[in-house]
């Protein structure tokens, strides 16, 4: 799917560059985060952590890379092939290295010298959880807090569509009933949270950007069954609001491939709420202006008290 | 360079798995971090941040991916080809996707369908700074605080040699004199910090793991000029202590390729101190035991006060 960047999105991006909030790189959708962005990022991440802490989640962190096998066991390759970042490495010796450098000096394609490794970039924060919990869940299921450094290959001039970004997720694994209840509970809580940050959001049924023609049908089915809700905010364009959080029920889509059963051995379901930290930060700059010190008192208190 | 994992290193790793401190994955040197690890990680990272905050560094954060161009402008490809993680993407349409999935179902090599992108995994936290500061520095130079999600392709059973890890660096760009003074100042400060955490470290002249025969000469030259110092601690083996921090003077090695001049236009030099956060966490578990609640009062106070 080609996405068109609007002039307003590019203008917002340029204003962030001008204020030193984001730093451009030579690659679309890959930015440095300046001191002001970092300060807001840390505040938002702490705010999200606190919002989930009353449920005492198990706090795990996973690297920006994940085993290729983990991603292949889901339908990611079928559903989102164009978003994957596949990691390749150089395995040659002195001779191949010399050829590599000669190729470099002559402007040849360096990367033909590289071979696929057993790693890909992490596409979503929760993926590494599923192989970890393979087996039977305890009564009541399990609840996780994960913050992931995620990657999706979607070069764009819309600052809200970064190739590299952070998802902070709470993930529940349990019964079909508990998974659905978790999703619905967080749909309310996440709206309340965004309201506390002074962000006007709308909740809407959504679908993932499945690849190709078969993908359109998958997306339609996902919408029909109302499995995914997104909280949409205006970042730089009213016409195309940005999803800053999402509440998802995965049914048994991830529990079956990883052989996860609920207590007693029946089928398990999973659900998650995901907060797009960079997108929430951008929504705050868009809503409250480029100077965090001038933001409403209540918002500042919630981020930095 | 092949590194041999000792039995004691593998035994320490297995004790971390057993205690739920690290979580194994299907890939060597790629781990999940359990609740106890995360808690210590956050404490160490805060401790490092505080140690540098009196100098009021500019705080920047960069993604786990960096433009291929940035890494090619340094000598990284010449010096460390085998450590690079090159990112490849799928750019085909419906037909190529069908072929990709058929290949998958028949166990063919998936990744031949992927083409190199303009990104590689970030090899060191400070790399994205240099293109950003291209031009003339202000009087006194500049000082940065960066925390990077780094990658080096070195599969190992030694838990201290992770493929994916975090570096927290302070980076100074200025004159040859100020760069050297910065490096020497931090060599003292970093030793003091590790002492405060109850870690027994030894400072030693070191070299980077340059590739191949020409690399051996580069390494010897780096040692001769005493450009790199490492703080070595015992993590799982007395015979092979682990570098948990390093203090480096880069001379003009990074300022020349990115056309960075000191105030007035003369040549600039750069220097950095880098803390390997995961390695410091592991050194703490090795030194004080697997139960952080039982660690010495002073250490706990410094991490979590």
pLDDT, position B167: 98
The helix (run of H) or strand (run of E) holding residue B216 is helix B212-224
- How many other β-carbons are positioned within 10 Å of the β-carbon of residue A108? 13
Tokens found for residue B217 = 């000469």
Q: What is the percentage of chain A residues whose pLDDT exceeds 70?
A: 96
**N-to-C CA span, chain A:** 42
Minimal Cα–Cα distance from A78 to chain B, Å?
A: 7
Among A33, A70, A94, select the one facing B61 at the smallest CB separation.
A33
Q: How many CA atoms lie within 13 A of A95 on its CB side?
A: 0
For residue B142, what pLDDT is reported? 98
Strand partners, B171: B144, B272
Q: Confirm or reject contact between B39 and chain A (CB < 8 A).
A: yes
**What pLDDT, on a 0 to 100 scale, did the predictor assign at position A280?**
98
CB A240 within 8 A of CB A209: no
Closest of B229, B237, B156 to residue B187, by C-alpha:
B229
B118 touches chain A (CB under 8 A): yes
Mutate to test the interface with A, among B119, B148, B156 (most CBs of A within 10 A): B119
**Mean pLDDT value of segment A3-24:** 92
- The answer to whether B115 touches B88, Cβ cutoff 8 Å, is yes
Tell me the mean pLDDT in the region B253-273.
96
**What DSSP assignment string belongs to A99-149?**
HHHHHHHTT--GGGGEEEEEEEE-SSTTTTHHHHT-EEPPTT-EEEEEEEE
Specify the higher pLDDT residue, A75 or B256: B256
Q: Is B134 on the interface with A (CB under 8 A)?
A: no
Residue A109 has pLDDT above 70, yes or no: no
Which residue's entry shows tokens 């030193």? Answer: A20
Contacts 24+ apart (CB under 8 A), B148-151: B148/B62, B148/B64, B148/B122, B148/B124, B149/A63, B149/A64, B149/A149, B149/B63, B149/B64, B149/B122, B150/B64, B150/B121, B150/B122, B150/B123, B150/B124, B150/B125, B151/A64, B151/A65, B151/B64, B151/B85, B151/B121, B151/B122, B151/B123
What is this model's ipTM?
Answer: 0.95
Interchain contact A167–B (C-beta under 8 A): no
CATH number of A7-84+123-304: 3.30.930.10
Mean pLDDT of B241-262: 96
Cα distances from A90 to residues A84, A112, A114, A237, B77, in angstroms, run: 20, 10, 5, 43, 10
Mean pLDDT of chain B: 93
- Among B251, B209, B201, smallest CA distance to B230 is for B201
- A-contacting residues of B 182-221, CB under 8 Å? 211-213
Whole-number pLDDT of residue A140: 97
User: pLDDT confidence of A87, banded at 50, 70, 90?
Assistant: very high
- Strand-pair partners of B248: B228, B272
Residue A29 vs residue B236, higher pLDDT: A29
Mean pLDDT across the stretch A7-20?
A: 95
Which residues are bridge partners to B233 per DSSP?
A: B242
Asked if pLDDT for residue A278 goes beyond 50, the answer is yes
DSSP 3-state of A272:
strand
Q: Which of A79, A88, A118 is nearest to A207 (CA)?
A: A79
Q: What is the pLDDT of residues B45-104, one digit of tens each?
A: 999 999 999 999 999 999 999 999 999 898 888 889 999 999 999 988 888 888 888 876
In this prediction, residue B77 carries a pLDDT of 84
Closest CA to B133 of B269, B275, B246, B227: B269
B25 touches chain A (CB under 8 A): yes
pLDDT digits (tens, 9 = 90+) for B24-42: 999 999 999 999 999 999 9
Mean pLDDT in residue range A28-43: 98
Residue B164: strand, helix, or coil: strand
Reading the block at residue B25, the tokens are 């994955």
CA distance B163 to A65: 9
Count of residues for chain B?
A: 305
Which residues belong to CATH 3.30.930.10 in chain B? 7-84+123-304
What is the reported pLDDT for A1? 46
To probe the interface with A, which of B39, B44, B45, B65 has the most A CB atoms within 10 Å?
B65
Decide which of B108 and B299 is more confident: B299
Query: Tell me: the pLDDT tens digits for A135-176?
Result: 999 999 999 999 999 999 999 999 999 999 999 999 999 999
d(CA B84, CA B133): 24
Out of A97, A119, A163, closest to residue B27 by CB: A119
Tokens of B208: 């980077």
pLDDT (average), residues A172-185: 97
Distance CA A182, CA B147 (A): 34
pLDDT band of B1, cuts 50, 70, 90 = very low
Q: How confident is the model at residue B5 (pLDDT cuts 50, 70, 90)?
A: confident
3-state SS, one letter per residue, for A205-269 = EECCCCCHHHHHHHHHHHHHCCCEEEEEECCCCCCCCEEEEEEEEEECCCCCCCCEECCCCCECE
Sign of CA dihedral B3, B9, B11, B13: negative
Average pLDDT, chain A: 93
CA-CA-CA-CA torsion for A191, A195, A199, A202, nearest 10 degrees?
40
């Amino acid at each position: 799917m080609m996405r068109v960047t609007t002039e307003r999105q590019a203008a917002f991006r340029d204003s962030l560059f001008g204020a030193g909030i984001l730093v451009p790189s030579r690659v679309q959708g890959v930015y440095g985060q300046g001191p002001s962005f970092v300060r807001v990022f840390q505040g938002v991440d702490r705010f999200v952590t606190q919002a989930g802490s009353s449920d005492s989640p198990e706090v795990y962190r996973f690297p920006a890379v994940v085993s290729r096998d983990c991603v292949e066991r889901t339908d990611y390759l079928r559903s989102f092939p164009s978003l994957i970042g596949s990691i390749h490495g150089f395995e040659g010796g002195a001779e191949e290295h010399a050829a590599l450098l000669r190729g470099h000096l002559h402007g040849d394609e360096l990367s033909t010298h590289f071979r696929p490794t057993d790693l890909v970039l992490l596409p979503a924060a929760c993926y590494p959880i599923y192989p970890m919990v393979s087996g039977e869940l305890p009564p009541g299921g399990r609840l996780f807090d994960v913050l992931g450094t995620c990657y999706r290959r979607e070069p764009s001039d819309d600052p809200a569509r970064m190739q590299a970004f952070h998802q902070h997720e709470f993930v529940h694994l349990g019964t079909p009933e508990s998974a659905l209840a978790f999703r619905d509970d967080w749909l309310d809580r996440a709206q309340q949270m965004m309201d506390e940050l002074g962000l006007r959001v709308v909740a809407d049924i959504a679908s993932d950007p499945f690849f190709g023609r078969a993908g359109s049908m998958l997306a339609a089915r996902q919408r029909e069954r109302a499995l995914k809700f997104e909280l949409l905010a205006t970042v730089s364009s009213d016409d195309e609001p940005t999803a800053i959080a999402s509440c998802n029920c995965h049914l048994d889509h991830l529990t079956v491939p990883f052989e996860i059963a609920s207590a007693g051995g029946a089928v398990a379901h999973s659900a998650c709420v995901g907060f797009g930290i960079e997108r929430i930060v951008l929504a705050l700059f868009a809503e409250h202006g480029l100077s965090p010190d001038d933001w409403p008192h209540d918002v500042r208190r919630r981020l930095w008290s």
